[in-house]
């Protein structure tokens, strides 16, 4: 059976890409040459794979011998919480006191008034 690399968060993709490259014994420069980009671009992709365009990501995955598969999960955590929120009865909550923003006291001697002056050359 083939290995599975589940990805739920962007930082997981970063780890998988680096591990797959190393598993194939490739340097960033060698991998870049295989897909037609520079070593610096491979470093950028590994550092932040969320910013790579889809075409480059697919080329990269193909060279590394893996494919992208979309699989519907049994229950997504976000969907479960939304469903639970809709089906549960609303709870009574205590009203929270309103926050009062207070400005620090400034002694009168240190207060300065602002006078708008025209910019140089505009007179």
- In a domain, residue 102? The reply is no
Does residue 104 lie in a domain region? no
* Percent of the chain whose pLDDT exceeds 70: 57
Q: Is residue 32 part of a domain?
A: yes
- Domain hosting residue 42, numbered range: 10-63
- On whether the pTM is more than 0.75, the answer is no
Q: Is the pLDDT of residue 14 over 80?
A: yes
For residue 27, being part of any structural domain is answered with: yes
Residue 92 lies in a domain: no
The total number of residues written for the chain in this structure: 123
In a domain, 4, yes or no: no
Counting the structural domains of the chain, the total is 1
Question: Is 88 domain-assigned?
Answer: no
The answer to whether 49 touches 10, Cβ cutoff 8 Å, is: yes
**The pLDDT of residue 44:** 92
CA dist., res. 48 & res. 18, Å (int): 11
Query: What value does the mean pLDDT take over residues 29-57?
Result: 91
| 82 lies in some domain | no
- Top mean pLDDT of 13-17, 22-26, 73-77 is at 22-26
């Amino acid at each position: 059976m083939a290995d599975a690399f589940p990805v739920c968060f962007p930082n997981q993709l970063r780890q998988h890409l680096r591990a797959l490259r190393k598993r194939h014994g490739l340097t960033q420069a060698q991998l870049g040459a295989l897909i037609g980009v520079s070593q610096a671009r491979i470093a950028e992709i590994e550092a932040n794979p969320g910013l790579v365009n889809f075409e480059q990501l697919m080329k990269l995955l193909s060279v590394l011998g893996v494919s992208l598969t979309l699989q519907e999960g049994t229950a997504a955590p976000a969907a479960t919480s939304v469903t639970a929120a809709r089906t549960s009865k609303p709870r009574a909550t205590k009203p929270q006191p309103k926050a009062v923003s207070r400005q620090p006291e400034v002694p009168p001697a240190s207060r300065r008034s602002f006078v708008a002056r025209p910019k140089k050359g505009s007179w």
